[in-house]
Amino acid sequence: MILPAVPWLDRADEARLRALIDGKAKPLGALGRIEDLAVQLALIAGRPDPTADRAELLVFGADHGLTASGVSAYPSEVTAAMVATLLAGGACANAFARAVGAAVTVVDAGVAAELAAHPGLVDAKVRRGTRNAATEPALTPEEVGEALARGAAIADAAADRADVLLLGEIGIGNSACAALILHRLGPAPLADCVGMGAGHDAAGLARKRAALEQAAARSDATAPLDVLAQFGGLEIAMMAGAAIGAAAGRRPVLVDGFIGGAAALAAIRLRPAVRDYCVFSHRSAERGHALMLAAMEARPLLDLDLRLGEGTGALLALPLLRAACGLLTGVASLDDVLAGRL
């Protein structure tokens, strides 16, 4: 496995960019964190006129052996059904993507079914789902490496057609894997990482906690590659690779919620400079997400009690990136306003 290098952002122009924003027709600092976002996007682009007009959501799908231990309220077959729904344009992510003008590409990272070819589907399947992490390693080191490399390559190709890449996922059981990743890479106490996921009742949550305690007791892995191998999943590893690939291609990475955050956390632990390229879209209602954001020193743009996945939160935050770009490119200077030069 050879992952691309990711350079830290060159902040030599940061003072000049902030002076440019301070000179716009507005009070100093009046746009708060949008001003910080504008600076980040300009530094990523390497120019004072960044754009987020062309946006693409990459939705990575995979299944998890942990579902055999009762970590989800739904069977793994739902993953393939949701892939079909996304490809047909009928998922929440499709509706939100249409609302904000973003392209959608679905990636089969490891769905436990054979999927028919489709123009909107990238076949990057490493294997049909992971093994059950409660009883054995979810993936081999070679499978983790393949998932990371394929994710980086997919993002590299998408960077040729998009100014900003959004990362989303579908995969029954993946909040369980994300909890284990946060537990080890945060790090954070496992009990604080485990949430309801997609629709658990109290009994289901108890089963989920027991399965994750069994998985955590089986391995003491803390290194990022080892954690991904022990606990999965393929969509998380591939998203981590995509975050690395996007950053290497100098594209902003718009991170979704808890599952996407686990992928970003793994990517940052593998390539710390990836953090400079990440924009965190929202704080999920999923238990543990606040801890995950804190582990990455991240402040999300939105807090809407979302916990769906699919990249829906990233799509909702996309207009804020475009507005931040517009601050740099479409707002008059205060000097021009006062001199009547408009």
Domain boundaries, the chain: 12-50+326-339, 55-319
Instruction: Report pLDDT for 341.
Output: 85
Please give the CATH topology (third level) of the domain spanning 55-319: Rossmann fold (3.40.50)
Strands 55-62, 103-110: pairing kind: parallel
Taking residue 286's Cβ as centre, other Cβ atoms within 10 Å add up to 24
Amino acid at 137: P
Cis amide leading into 319 (omega within 30) = no
Q: Is-contact 158 54, C-beta < 8 A?
A: no
Give the whole-angstrom CA distance, residue 236 versus residue 232.
7
Residue 268 tokens read as 């940052």
Displacement of CA 107 from its chain's centroid (Å): 14
Amino acid at 34: I
Give the whole-angstrom CA distance, residue 94 versus residue 26.
36
Instruction: Report pLDDT for 199.
Output: 66
Instruction: Report pLDDT for 74.
Output: 83
Q: Is-contact 279 202, C-beta < 8 A?
A: no
Taking residue 191's Cβ as centre, other Cβ atoms within 10 Å add up to 13
User: What residues are labeled active site?
Assistant: 310
Distances (CA, A) of 312 to 4, 115, 166, 263, 309: 28, 23, 10, 16, 6
Q: Which residues of the chain have pLDDT under 70?
A: 198-200
Helices (H) then strands (E): counts for the chain = 14, 6
pTM: 0.96
Distances (CA, A) of 10 to 39, 45, 65, 325: 12, 11, 42, 19
Please give the CATH topology (third level) of the domain spanning 12-50+326-339: 1.10.1610
What are the backbone angles phi and psi of residue 44, rounded to the nearest 5°?
-65, -45
Instruction: Report pLDDT for 174.
Output: 95
